[in-house]
A = this chain, B = another copy of it.
């Protein structure tokens, strides 16, 4: 099939490669053209504008954008997706966006006779390339069905979250906040262990040996035990963005999230101390400071 793709950052590029691998024709648009080189070399078709991408797309456009501002910039205005997608066109938004932003955008697409499908993902570029990506999908059934072949080419498994696109984001944000809470709790536990006289490395061994043996606890307990916050998988600044999106979603839904607020405060302290671009496990370092273990 033929599909347009907007937003060729690291995630977007990895996704387009997967689509090309699967034999799809992919029309690509990115604000800065230099990110397109690799995928054009592999046969992707260049669209010089969003309007052109929409025109070439056969009514299916995927976007992978860094934030809400970029998403709205792509969707709105006379050159944007809403003005240029055909009736019954489908926009599949794969970035991590605010629940409220997605709901508002879905309404604008619907008014134009189009559909928005939210398809936020679980995993980083390496997971895309390795074919391990999980994708949470929510949107009108017909539209989600139209998007399915492309999404199946990109990911390992689709999780159907119903027909309301905002719900997919809530699920995605809930997943990320759970990871934030796990890192925060590990930070607290390591502080208690170390300040009580036991080695952190021992505690790490216990964690991954038993109840917590999982990719998340394995990866982050290792970073914390090793204090290797300079090898950055995901920055504290991006983590704060995700945590804030979760808190905003919770405000909309009237759900108190006390543990997530603890994570937010921890990230703010880490950022106040210059850690914005460190790996977000720097939260554990911040907890160590608050416990008098450092500095």
**Contact stretch, chosen from A3-11, A25-33, A69-77, A267-275:** A267-275
Question: Which chain A residues numbered 90 to 105 have a C-beta less than 8 Å away from chain B?
Answer: 99
Given A166-B196, A211-B179, A211-B216, the answer on whether A191 and B292 have CB atoms closer than 8 Å is: no
Say yes or no for A146: interface residue by CB 8 A criterion: no
Measured in the bound complex, the distance between the Cα atoms of B267 and A254 in whole Å is 9
Q: What residue of chain B has the Cβ atom nearest to residue A250's Cβ? A: B192
**Contact stretch, chosen from A14-22, A38-46, A107-115, A180-188:** A180-188
Q: What residue of chain B has the Cβ atom nearest to residue A168's Cβ? A: B198
Measured in the bound complex, the distance between the Cα atoms of B260 and A191 in whole Å is 13
Report the interface size for chain A: residues with CB under 8 A from the other chain.
84
Please tell me if the beta carbons of A198 and B185 are within 8 angstroms of each other in the complex: no
Measured in the bound complex, the distance between the Cα atoms of B292 and A274 in whole Å is 9
Measured in the bound complex, the distance between the Cα atoms of B167 and A264 in whole Å is 23
Please tell me if the beta carbons of A244 and B251 are within 8 angstroms of each other in the complex: yes
The listed residue (B138, B166, B251, B272) touching A290 by CB distance below 8 A is B272
**Contact stretch, chosen from A47-55, A59-67, A156-164:** A156-164
Say yes or no for A78: interface residue by CB 8 A criterion: no
Say yes or no for A199: interface residue by CB 8 A criterion: yes
The listed residue (B188, B215, B252, B259) touching A211 by CB distance below 8 A is B215
Say yes or no for A142: interface residue by CB 8 A criterion: no
Please tell me if the beta carbons of B216 and A192 are within 8 angstroms of each other in the complex: no
Shortest CB–CB separation between residue A278 and chain B, in angstroms? 14
A194-229 vs B: 1/0 string, CB under 8 Å? 011111001101110111111111000000000000
Given A171-B206, A192-B246, A254-B271, the answer on whether A262 and B264 have CB atoms closer than 8 Å is: no
Q: Which residues of chain A have a CB within 8 Å of any CB of chain B?
A: 99, 122-123, 134, 136, 138, 157, 159-162, 164, 166-168, 170-171, 173-175, 177-179, 181-182, 184-186, 188-193, 195-199, 202-203, 205-207, 209-217, 240, 244, 246, 249-262, 264-266, 268-269, 271-274, 287, 290-292, 295
